[in-house]
Amino acid sequence: MREKSPSYYHPGKSGSVYLDKDDIDPVAYFGEIHPNIIKKLDIKTEALVGFEIYLDYLKDKKLKLKDLKSQFKYSDYQKSDRDFAFVVNKNFKAQDLIDIISSIDQNLIKSVKIFDVYEGENIPKDKKSIALNVTIQSSEKTLEESDLEKINKLIISIVETKSGAKIRS
């Protein structure tokens, strides 16, 4: 599995960093060290965090950073930011939610950013709430309230269908 971290990291509290979505090898791993290792080291702490960077994988890139940057594009039309909160299974990856929303309409959805992940009161034990900010903007016209309402409903229905999430009210 691509998102699997080494076994010395806590399986639910670790991750990996890739330079490109098609890369096979990560350039870094990060996360909490596995609790069993902390016990064996006899360290008096509840959590220990680690971060590793593989410089060899960073050097392989032939293109310079300026060549990798996308060309700056702008729109003369007003943008609209909308917030959504979805309740998903605890093991559901926030990046998958971003990918689903981003792919709905690339002409209108300019950015998707997570601003909160919450577990606790009013959320079932096996679930978490992920709150996202979605920037919607057309490069062809000023969006009417009806256009925005249509894309909002589309985002909710597609996320619920593809991820099993429920919109949090």
Is the confidence at residue 70, as pLDDT, over 90? Answer: no
Q: Which one has a higher pLDDT value, 56 or 110?
A: 110
pLDDT at residue 68 in the model = 62
pLDDT tens digits, one per residue of 121-142: 989 999 999 999 999 999 889 8
In DSSP terms, 83 is beta-bridged to 133
Band of pLDDT at residue 60, cut at 50, 70 and 90: low
Q: What percent of the chain has pLDDT over 70?
A: 89
Q: Which sequence spans correspond to the domains of the chain?
A: 9-66, 80-167
What architecture (CATH level 2) is domain 80-167?
A: 2-Layer Sandwich (3.30)
Q: How far apart are the first and last CA of the chain?
A: 34
